[in-house]
Amino acid sequence: MDLTHINEQGRARMVDVSQKDDTERVAVAQAVVRMQLETLRTIQGGGIRKGDVLAVAQVAGIMGAKQTPSLIPMCHPLMLTAVDVKFDFDEDNPGIIITAQVKTTGKTGVEMEAITAVTVAALTVYDMAKAVDRWMEITDVKLVEKAGGKSGHLRRSEA
């Protein structure tokens, strides 16, 4: 197996994508923040003292996507054309399901940007609500879907 991020001297390198065609690239990632039901209801009701948890986490997720190449050494800086972060509530298994969709038109995909967006959003939820629930858990961080480039459209099967 060829490791694309290793040069002939066995050292890390950023992959050369200059010969690739520009295509529309889309990636969707997801993360879950598990918490006590009371914590979830406090967040839903806007009762966290630090402020609007979801509004701040949404902005943090967008900023995280934009900062990915500063955080992940071999990621290419990309001109993102869209970042959307959404939240769903799970009261049966209390938590917040965070989903991010990231788009660009370019030579490489935005999977890392989408994963970074949900992770930073999840960390922000934790930071803002930790005073009422220190034992929250960030779980199930994953790529859900990607489209564009040589591999085409792929979607995770939940089987």
The full set of domain ranges for the chain reads: 23-155
- Cβ-contact 102, 119 below 8 angstroms: no
* Architecture of the CATH domain 23-155: 2-Layer Sandwich (3.30)
Q: In this structure, what DSSP letter does residue 63 have?
A: H
- Kindly indicate the confidence band of residue 1, based on its pLDDT and cuts at 50, 70 and 90: low
What is the chain's mean pLDDT, rounded? 94
Q: Which of 84, 90, 127, 140 is catalytic?
A: 127
Nearest to 99, CA basis, from 35, 37, 26: 26
2 among known catalytic residues: no
Residue 136: predicted pLDDT? 98
Task: Judge if pTM exceeds 0.95.
Answer: no
Region 111-140 average pLDDT:
98
Give the separation between CA 49 and CA 129, rounded to whole angstroms: 8
